[in-house]
């Protein structure tokens, strides 16, 4: 737990001796600073472009193409998007999948991981191996497709976007690592009190694992929010498109106004580039908004995973 | 008997694991039967067991053409590029950020570099359009310095490098978090004694930092090599989509089998491709797990 705190706070690890730096050392240091700054800049510029150009007017696009700072600002893309039903539908779908998916996934994964980590369970290593094997091999595209669409009949159902991701082996192993680090005495104390394993799990284990559970929840939430593979495979109905698929549709669909605008009430032609970017802004908005929080918990989760291998 | 006694004794615990096991079975293990389709002329109406068996026909079709060589090469080549540059650059960044003495610079740069990790490949794909479409920023800049514009989405040869750059952009933050976690774990005593001996920063990096986090580098490399036959579908299909001009350098096994299934409706060949991929994947994982055990016993995966 100590390491990740250090990573987060950005504490200098070693005691610095400042006075005996040679000229070469200094130049080396400044070169490093320049590289870091440049790379950081490259990382954010695309975000800036998406934001700025989503407010560019169609005329500005026709004249100048994409720009670092649009020459003419307008809110057209957003008003256009908000007039139609597609954005609202997609937002609802993405929210439903993310919230329901994350809650179910966390409960199922936490219970499963607890069993994998429990020293009393004789077959825990067999289970862990089966889980690992599933992670590296998977079932193969065709079998998976037939399972979901023909056997479970989940084609054009939002559950097709939720159920397949409810147990992510990688996240399960993060929880296993955490449960294994808990002192065994917790179990013994509760057993003496006569509590069964299920009660023990819900009353004691789950409450003390809130920080790790929070981390894993965020991992899952991002996964559900960003996924478009499952919706590409199983969702054809426009009304059920989540945000990610809406973006894809906007990239490939030439008839943007019919897709986004719904009815034909809006006479002016749709500002298509700006609409794409505005949709992206609204999609990554929640992520950027929650970013400080996300970053903190992700660093924690990745560090646990990295330290335990 | 032992099995039943174990189950009854810990029945409450096994009950907790049931939902997880059900989903593992439903979406990972039962679909493995789908590999049988590789040996059939599958018709969805007839189902898995009543479709006509055709032996190795699907494989003959797949291996008879040039496609399998192309997609296999692309998958391995792109993954190698991603692995080498992705991990290499993240390592350099992590070391540089760690060396920085300004806490503010450290925090800000870490936050910015990690940001791209959180967005989907479709969003990345749209961001790329802003730079690389015909009226995109790259072409505008090229024009300004007097170089002829490039038609990016038709320049097939450039794409392995473009994809590598995008991969580095998206994952450097993630990998450098892993490296930083390992670097802060190094005891500061090593650095102090090196300093007393007059070692420069660069020397300290080469002789202390990198050797100390060697096992983390090895594990990441091995994880990557183990998955070398598995392309990143979300990335490739999100960025390239159905732009067939770029297929010669960007089509990977996963996008190929996806198109066979979803666009051609050829279940049999798609399965044959996936089975081929799974077998290659399994062999590499077993092979490299052994190798891992030899190089560095701690980094053995199972």
- Per DSSP, the residues of chain B read -HHHHHHHHTHHHHHHHHHHHHHHIIIIIGGGGGGGGGGEE--TTT-TTTSEE-TTHHHHHHHHSSHHHHHHHHHHHHHHHHHHHHHHHHHHHHHHHHH---HHHHHHHHHHHHGGGGS-HHHHHHHHHHHHSTTSHHHHHHHHTTPPP--GGG-GGGHHHHHHHHHHHHHHHHHHHHHHHHHHTS-HHHHHHHHHTT--HHHHIIIIIHHHTHHHHHHHHHHHHHTTT---HHHHHHHHTT-GGGHHHH--HHHHHHHHHHTS--HHHHHHHHHHHHHHHHHHHHHHHHHHHHH-GGG---
Q: Is residue A215 situated within a structural domain?
A: yes
Q: Is residue A169 situated within a structural domain?
A: yes
3-state secondary structure A15-46: CCCCCCCCHHHHHHHHHHHHHHHHHHHHHHHH
- A287 to chain B: which residues are within 8 Å by CB? 118-119
Query: In terms of residue numbers, what domain contains A32?
Result: 20-79
Co-location of A231 and A109 in the same domain = yes
CATH code, domain carrying A131: 1.10.3720.10
Rounded to a whole number of angstroms, the CA Rg of chain A reads 25
- Closest-CA residue of B relative to A294 is B118
How much is the pLDDT for A264? Answer: 45
Closest CA to B174 of B241, B223, B239, B102: B223
CB contact under 8 A, B130 and A50: yes
Co-location of A56 and A116 in the same domain = no
Q: Is residue A13 situated within a structural domain?
A: no
Co-location of A124 and A53 in the same domain = no
Q: How many CB pairs under 8 A join A and B?
A: 312
Here the tokens at position A177 are 């690592």
- The answer to whether residue A177 neighbours chain B at the CB level (below 8 Å) is no
- B14 to chain A: which residues are within 8 Å by CB? 115, 121
Which among A64, A143, A166 has CB closest to B31? A143
Fold of the domain built from segment(s) B57-299: MetI-like fold (1.10.3720)
pLDDT tens digit string along B210-239?
998 888 888 888 888 888 999 999 999 999
Q: Is residue A9 situated within a structural domain?
A: no
Co-location of A24 and A172 in the same domain = no
Co-location of A261 and A303 in the same domain = yes
- Residue where one domain finishes, among candidates A56, A79, A102: A79
- Residue where one domain finishes, among candidates A39, A58, A79: A79
Cα-based torsion angle of the residue sequence A302, A304, A306, A309 in order, rounded to the nearest 10 degrees:
-140
CB interface of B with A, residues 259-298, below 8 Å? 261-262, 267, 270-271, 274-275, 278, 281-282, 285, 298
Co-location of A102 and A171 in the same domain = yes
CB interface of B with A, residues 186-245, below 8 Å? 186, 188, 191-192, 195, 200-202, 216, 219, 226-227, 233-234, 237-238, 241-242
3-state secondary structure A175-216: HHHHHHCCCCHHHHHHHHCCCCHHHHHHHHHHHHCHHHHHHH
CB-based contact B232:B250 (threshold 8 Å): no
Give B107 to chain A, closest Cα distance, Å.
6
pLDDT tens digit string along B133-183?
888 899 999 988 988 888 899 899 999 999 999 999 999 999 999 999 889
CB contact under 8 A, B123 and A7: no
- The answer to whether residue B43 neighbours chain A at the CB level (below 8 Å) is no
- The answer to whether residue A298 neighbours chain B at the CB level (below 8 Å) is yes
Closest CA to B37 of B27, B23, B47, B45: B47
Q: What is the pLDDT of chain B when averaged over all its residues?
A: 88
Co-location of A151 and A93 in the same domain = yes
Q: Is residue A93 situated within a structural domain?
A: yes
pTM: 0.89
- Residue where one domain finishes, among candidates A34, A58, A79: A79
Confidence of residue B266 (pLDDT cuts 50, 70, 90): confident
pLDDT tens digit string along B109-128?
999 999 999 999 999 999 99
Query: How many angstroms separate the Cα of A210 from the Cα of each of A8, A179, A297?
Result: 19, 12, 12
Co-location of A153 and A227 in the same domain = yes
CB-based contact A295:B113 (threshold 8 Å): no
- The answer to whether residue B112 neighbours chain A at the CB level (below 8 Å) is yes
- The answer to whether residue B25 neighbours chain A at the CB level (below 8 Å) is no
- Closest-CA residue of A relative to B22 is A167
Co-location of A124 and A189 in the same domain = yes
The pLDDT tens digits along chain A (309 residues) read 445 555 555 545 454 444 456 788 888 888 889 999 999 999 999 999 999 999 988 888 888 888 888 888 888 889 888 888 889 999 999 999 999 999 999 999 999 999 999 888 888 888 888 888 887 777 788 889 989 998 899 999 999 999 999 999 889 988 988 888 888 777 777 666 777 888 888 888 888 888 889 989 999 999 999 999 999 999 999 899 999 999 988 887 656 666 765 544 444 456 688 888 999 999 999 999 999 888 988 888 887 765 554
Report domain extents, chain B: 2-53, 57-299
- A229 to chain B: which residues are within 8 Å by CB? 233-234
Co-location of A279 and A156 in the same domain = yes
- A309 to chain B: which residues are within 8 Å by CB? 219, 298-299
- The answer to whether residue A34 neighbours chain B at the CB level (below 8 Å) is no
Co-location of A126 and A215 in the same domain = yes
Q: Is residue A2 situated within a structural domain?
A: no
- The answer to whether residue A207 neighbours chain B at the CB level (below 8 Å) is no
Co-location of A73 and A128 in the same domain = no
- The answer to whether residue B129 neighbours chain A at the CB level (below 8 Å) is yes
Cα separation of B111 and A40, whole Å? 9
CB contact under 8 A, A14 and B192: yes
- The answer to whether residue A51 neighbours chain B at the CB level (below 8 Å) is no
Q: Is residue A8 situated within a structural domain?
A: no
Q: What is the ipTM of this complex?
A: 0.89
Q: Is residue A3 situated within a structural domain?
A: no
Specify the number of domains making up chain A.
2
- The answer to whether residue A258 neighbours chain B at the CB level (below 8 Å) is no
CB-based contact A197:B13 (threshold 8 Å): yes
């Amino acid at each position: 737990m100590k390491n990740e705190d250090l990573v987060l706070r950005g504490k200098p690890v070693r005691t610095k001796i400042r006075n005996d730096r040679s000229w070469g050392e200094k130049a080396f240091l400044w070169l490093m600073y320049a590289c870091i700054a440049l790379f950081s800049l490259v990382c954010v510029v695309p975000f800036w472009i998406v934001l700025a150009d989503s407010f560019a007017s169609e005329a500005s696009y026709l004249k100048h193409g994409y720009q670092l700072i649009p020459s003419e600002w307008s809110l057209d893309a957003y008003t256009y998007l908000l007039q139609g039903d597609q954005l609202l539908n997609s937002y609802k779908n993405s929210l439903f999948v993310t919230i329901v998916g994350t809650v179910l996934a966390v409960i199922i994964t936490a219970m499963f991981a607890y069993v994998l980590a429990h020293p009393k369970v004789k077959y825990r290593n067999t289970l862990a191996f089966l889980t690992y094997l599933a992670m590296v091999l998977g079932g193969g595209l065709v079998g998976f497709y037939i399972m979901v669409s023909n056997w479970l009949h989940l084609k054009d159902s939002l559950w097709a976007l939720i159920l397949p991701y409810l147990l992510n082996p990688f996240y399960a192993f993060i929880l296993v690592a955490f449960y294994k680090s808990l002192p065994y005495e917790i179990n013994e104390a509760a057993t003496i009190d006569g509590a069964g394993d299920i009660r023990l799990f819900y009353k004691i284990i789950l409450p003390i694992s809130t920080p790790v559970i929070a981390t894993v929840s965020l991992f899952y939430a991002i996964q559900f929010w960003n996924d478009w593979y499952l919706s590409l495979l199983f969702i054809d109905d426009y009304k059920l498109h989540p945000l990610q698929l809406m973006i894809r549709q906007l990239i490939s669909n030439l008839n943007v106004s019919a897709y986004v605008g719904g009815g034909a009430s809006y006479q002016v032609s749709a500002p298509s580039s700006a609409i794409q970017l505005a949709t992206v802004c609204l999609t990554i908005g929640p992520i950027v908004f929650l970013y400080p929080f996300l970053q903190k918990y992700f660093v924690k989760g990745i560090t646990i995973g990295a330290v335990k291998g | 008997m032992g099995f039943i006694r174990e189950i009854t004794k810990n029945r409450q615990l096994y009950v907790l694991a049931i939902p997880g096991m059900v989903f593992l079975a439903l979406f990972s293990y039962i679909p493995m039967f789908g590999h049988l389709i590789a040996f059939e002329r599958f018709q969805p109406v007839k189902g898995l067991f009543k479709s006509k068996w055709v032996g190795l026909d699907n494989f003959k079709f797949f291996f008879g053409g040039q496609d399998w060589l192309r997609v296999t090469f692309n998958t391995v080549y792109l993954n190698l590029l991603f692995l080498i540059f992705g991990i290499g650059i993240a390592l350099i960044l992590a070391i540089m950020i760690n060396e920085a003495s300004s806490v503010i610079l450290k925090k800000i740069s870490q936050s910015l570099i990690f940001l791209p990790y959180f967005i989907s490949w479709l969003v990345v794909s749209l961001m790329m359009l802003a730079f690389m479409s015909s009226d995109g920023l790259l072409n505008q800049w090229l024009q300004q310095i007097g170089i002829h514009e490039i038609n990016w989405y038709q320049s097939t040869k450039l794409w392995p490098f473009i994809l590598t750059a995008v991969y580095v952009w998206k994952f450097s933050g993630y990998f450098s978090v892993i490296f930083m976690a390992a670097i802060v774990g190094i005891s500061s005593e090593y650095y102090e004694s090196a300093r007393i001996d007059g070692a420069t920063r660069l020397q300290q990096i080469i002789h202390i930092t990198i050797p100390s986090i060697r096992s983390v580098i090895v594990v990441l490399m091995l994880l990557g090599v183990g998955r070398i036959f598995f392309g990143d579908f979300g990335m490739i299909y999100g960025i390239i989509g159905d732009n067939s001009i770029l297929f010669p350098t960007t089509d990977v096994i996963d996008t190929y089998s996806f198109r066979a299934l979803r666009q051609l409706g050829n279940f049999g060949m798609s399965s044959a491709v996936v089975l081929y991929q799974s077998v290659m994947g399994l062999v590499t994982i077993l092979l490299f797990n052994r190798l891992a055990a030899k190089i560095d016993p701690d980094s053995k995966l199972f």
